[in-house]
Structure 1
Amino acid sequence: MVRNRSVTQVFAKLSNLIYPRRCPICDEITGGAEKLICDSCRTVLQPVREPVCMKCGKPLSKEEAEYCPDCLRRKHRYEKGRAVFLYDRVMRASISRFKYHNRREYADFYAEELLRAHGRMLRSWQPDALIPVPLHKSRMRKRGFNQAALVAERMGERLGIPVEEKLLIRVKKTSPQKELNDSARRENLKNAFQLCGNDVKLKRVVLIDDIYTTGSTLDAAAAALLTAGVEKVYFLSICIGRGF
């Protein structure tokens, strides 16, 4: 184990010489393979802080509130979820470079922060597997990778939890969610996911995604998993909107 870790560290240093690690916030070179973010850039991040919605984890403006308006208005299919950062201008730019400009190394930082903020809660859920929210095959071909899968793989490695990347598939090519209102988002994702195989032995799973807005995507994914026999579905997301 020690030897394997040493080999990994040597490989990381060599890789950093060829492809220097870039900061997920300013996109400048961090100066080392193990330095995931610039010190100054960490100060501009807006982590999600209490009070938060007990269901989805959106930050709330009122201390006495328990749920955000969205979770009061509709019944979600997942049990509970949490995110690390507010989806503000800074994180919008970071996630965009991650997804559309091949900044795959950002996944190390996102996974580290998810575990730092919610690792204890994740363990308390006792998941049988982490499941990254899948991309449609056409989008996967165009992008070349699934951003949620990169984050899930790093988290799974750290925690020793299996990552089931091929269990849940996206069978419907949906329109971009950001262009739709709440009801259109739900309709857009209706029957968008299905399980690859009928013999699902998992009881508790955690969906991993990059951005949580209304929860429509996670509800659709959770619905497919619950129909297949999964008992409880949770989620963790890098970013989340405000709950008001």
Structure 2
Amino acid sequence: RCAGARPPQAAARAVFLHAAPVDQLHRRLKFHGDLAAGRLLGQLLAEGLAGAARPQALVPLPLHRSRLRQRGYDQALELARPLARALRLPLLDGRLARGRATAPQSRLDAAARRRNVRGAFEILAGPSLPAHLALFDDVMTTGATLQEAALALRRAGVQRVDLWVLARA
């Protein structure tokens, strides 16, 4: 099925496997508010993505506003900030939005993950988006969330979307 369908992204790059010690640092950032762990991971990301094809801007995958209220911060944005700064890329925060709350993906199988995020992303009004973007998230498991967000960006006229992640599960 994957070979017959053209994915919305041009490329995907994961800097690490989601294994020790990266998974431990990631959990400290995501669930315990350890922003120092996030800064360290951001530096490691910049080193790992220094040779990647250079997009015109970096777009962090957003949390829904209800999840953001619960957590108090967006871990993808906290990782994307130092990454964008180190690679001298504009950070387009606030153009891609999660228009509806979705169930946590970690509790779902692959098919349920795809259904869960279908149509969940929207592009907010603003200037034209660049032709080449890197969409960033912390961890990619099945890729369903990132692919759905990439599809929204492509529908908005972005010609090339690369997926960049800290780690691949």
Following superposition, the deviation at residue 83 of structure 1 comes to 1.1
Q: Which runs of 5+ in 1 are unaligned?
A: 1-69
The reply to whether residue 174 of structure 1 matches residue 102 of structure 2 is yes
Percent identity, please: 33
Q: Does 1:117 align with 2:48?
A: yes
- Please give the residue correspondences for 1:119-198 in structure 2 after superposition, counting only pairs within 5 Å: 119-121=50-52, 124=53, 126-197=54-125
Q: Is the 8 A contact 2:25 2:41 kept in 1?
A: no
SS class of match (2:94): coil
List aligned pairs for 1:8-23, cutoff 5 A. none
Counterpart of 1:80 in structure 2 is 11
Measured against aligned partners, the alpha-carbon deviations of 1:118-162 in whole angstroms (never above 9, x if no partner) come to 2111xx3x3121000000000101111111111111111122211
Deviations 1:210-241 (A, max 9, x none): 10111101101001100001110001111102
Summarize deviations over 1:7-52 as a string: whole Å, max 9, x none. Answer: xxxxxxxxxxxxxxxxxxxxxxxxxxxxxxxxxxxxxxxxxxxxxx
CA distance in structure 2 between the aligned counterparts of 1:198 and 1:188, rounded to whole angstroms: 27
3-state SS of 1:197 partner: coil
Q: More relative contact order in 1 or in 2 (CA 8 Å, sep 6+)?
A: 2
Count of aligned residue pairs for this structure pair: 169
Code of the residue aligned with 1:224 in structure 2: it is A
Extract unaligned runs of 5+ from structure 2: none
Which letter maps to 2:26? I
Task: Summarize deviations over 1:188-231 as a string: whole Å, max 9, x none.
Answer: 00111000116423111001111011110110100110000111
Deviations 1:60-86 (A, max 9, x none): xxxxxxxxxx95475421111111221
State the structure with more CA Rg: 1
More strand per residue? 2
Q: Secondary structure at the match of 1:105?
A: helix
User: Following superposition of structure 1 onto structure 2, how do residues 52-71 of structure 1 map, counting pairs within 5 Å?
Assistant: none
Distance in 2 (CA, whole Å) between partners of 1:107 and 1:74 is 35
Q: TM-score, normalised by structure 2?
A: 0.92
Q: Distance in 2 between matches of 1:73 and 1:90?
A: 36
- Secondary structure (helix, strand or coil) at the match of 1:207 reads strand
